[in-house]
Amino acid sequence: MKFLAMLATVGLLTAGPAHAADDRLDWPLRPRPAVMRTFDAPAPNWNRGHRGVDLAATTGQPVYAAAAGTVVFAGELAGRPLISIAHPGGLRTTYEPVDAVVRVGQLVDAGSAVGRLRAGHPGCSAAACLHWGAMWGPASRADYVDPVGLVATTPLRLKPVDAPGRAPLAGAPR
C-alpha cells in the first residue's frame, strides 16, 4: 500500500499542468466588461504581440480574482502596478494596472477583491482599462492563452463541417 501511495505522489508531482475543461475563469470586473483590445498571441513567445485582453473599466473600480489561487506577485513591474495569481493546475493570471489590496503568498478565492484599477493603460481607447492575461507554466517559458476563452460564460462554438465556399471533408455526410 505504501508503495502504491508513493507512486501516486510521484506521478502527481511530475505531471504536467492540467488543461481540464473545468479550469474555467470568472470575469475579473463587475459587471461583465467590454473587450477593448483582443488577445494577439506572439509567435514565437518572445516576439511582439498582445499577451492578454484589455477590458473597459473605470478608475478605482474593484478587480477580482478570476479563480482561486495564490498571489505570487503584487507590486511594480516595469513601472506598472501588477498582480499575478497562480491557480491549481499551472494556470497563472495577471492584472494591470492594479493597486493591490493583497500580498504575496495570500490565498484568494474566485471573486475575491485583489485591488483597484489605476487610470490609464497604454494602447487602450477607454479612460481606464484592465489588462488581463493568462498563461500556462512559468513566465520564463509561458504558453500565453486568451483569458476570455477560459471564462465560464463564454459559449463554445464549433465551426460547421460544410462551410460556404469549401468542399466538404472527405467522408462527411452531404
Show pLDDT as tens, one digit a residue, over the chain (174 residues). 443 333 333 333 333 333 333 568 999 999 999 988 777 776 665 555 557 888 999 999 999 999 999 999 999 998 899 999 999 999 999 999 999 999 999 999 999 999 999 987 767 777 789 999 998 887 677 788 889 989 987 555 665 655 555 555 454 444
**Counts for the chain of helices (H) and strands (E), in that order:** 1, 11
What residue type is assigned to position 117 of the chain? L
> pTM above the 0.85 mark?
no
Show the beta-strand stretches assigned E in 80-123.
80-86, 91-96, 98-100, 107-108, 113-117
**In the β-sheet with 98-100, what is the strand arrangement from edge to edge?**
62-64, 113-117, 98-100
